A and B are shown apart, each in its own frame.
Chain A
């Protein structure tokens, strides 16, 4: 005499081969990846350097952290912030037409598909590769702005498309039925639905861009990255420490503000 529970258990689909296959693939992949581990280059000086880094962060170069010349941490941080801000705006503006071109409920399918392919390509190319390419177009912070702009497009346009495809068209139909013009339909039917989502996504991207902008200096595209790399490569850990402290504080602040703003936008 079987209970219902037992019967249910026996009728449940057997997935043993499926599971074994997945486990097998996972083990192979893990085994293969362990090949990247090597401790042959770790030596005494490595630990000495690790200790020095910690010491540098605990004893930062206070003069660099607080003065207001063009090489100081505050100036460079503001420049990084400016690159991220302007880049986000450039990216946000360019994303809107691309997003409409990629929305399958606005344009015919082939057009939407092609635009999506373009967006995937834009999104996949690593940020620093754009940086290296834009350096040939313009030097310094301007290259940074362009880089941040184009990497923002990849993510912003994708999320904009999601918002456009979820548009509630019933509102538009009812507006047509009471005799609204096209302009009125856009202003009172579409804008309220899209604007808050677009803004929220853009603010989130700004938060991310702050991080991205902080490493652009590595390829010479302005911001705080370059002094940080120089300080590290010349083993000036106290300077690197003060730059890192400034950077971490600024990024945490931006994250806090952006979370607050997005929470208010979502609540309406």
Chain B
């Protein structure tokens, strides 16, 4: 339709041939983006004047966090370990449970199209729910504490690892699988010996990567009462104990950086 309103430019080449250059879509895109920005500004009360005058407060807060309160280390370290424990267990359970889901959602392994569509929908619905909402629901069912956090992280991990795993299974080379079936292996044996070796490194690498992200998620789950360091952050900010917050943030940054480095090293070895 856009081409009808603004007909393409004709260019006559030296050889006498006529070619068309489509008009640029830039003005249309620019108008859409500007309109979207305008309405977003209206809806969010975005006010540059207020922002410029008040943004200093943010740096005052950061200033108050330096130097961190080293003495709160003891109180914080147990919460930090809880957070790590939650994310490790959640990632482990989640990546194990993701396997059956992923197999049931791969169209080259399961023949029934209804089953495949059903499991793909389940995985994408699980992925849509924000982790914090899942955690909140889990606190109602499993009570306050790390258990709710574990459940929330498990569910998120299933959806994330599950999706990447079924994509890998679907992209796997099915030649060996067919060859093994033709030799008289059962489908399960053929899957074990032909598909698993192809997807295993990728699966392990995704699981470890997911664990890395889960540590970050786990650190905020405490805000809804699902255990870990989040509760401490909320309390410290509520009581304006900013050096304490600084200590927590410092510890988180160091921990996440360490885990990231180790996981990057392992993942490089895997692939």
Contacts and interface: CB of A to CB of B under 8 A. Distances in A.
A140 B58 CA distance: 15
A46 B148 CA distance: 12
A85 B50 contact: no
B220 A38 contact: no
A267 interface: no
A133 B48 CA distance: 18
Interface string A32-50: 1111111111100011011
Nearest to B65: A133
Dominant secondary structure at the B interface: helix
B174 interface: no
A126 B220 contact: yes
A126 B219 contact: yes
Contact of A138 (B51, B140, B233, B234): B51
A133 B252 contact: no
B175 interface: no
B54 interface: yes
Nearest to A136: B57
A46 B138 CA distance: 9
Interface residues on A, range: 35 or more
B44 A144 contact: yes
A212 B216 CA distance: 13
A78 B253 contact: no
Interface in A219-268: 219, 222, 228-229, 232, 244, 247-248, 251-252, 255
Contacts, number: 160
B142 A41 contact: yes
A129 interface: yes
Contact of B145 (A34, A38, A53): A38
Contacts of B150: 36-37
A132 interface: yes
A86 B46 contact: yes
Contacts of A252: 124, 128
A89 B41 CA distance: 11
Interface string A176-188: 0000000000000
Contacts of A120: 253, 257
A244 B245 CA distance: 32
A36 B87 CA distance: 10
Contacts of A49: 140-141
A53 B143 contact: no
17 contacts: A32-B88, A33-B89, A36-B85, A36-B86, A38-B146, A42-B141, A46-B141, A49-B141, A85-B40, A126-B252, A128-B220, A142-B45, A144-B44, A145-B44, A232-B140, A247-B128, A248-B128
Q: Which 7 A-B pairs have the closest CB atoms?
A: A41-B143, A141-B44, A82-B40, A33-B89, A82-B43, A33-B88, A86-B40
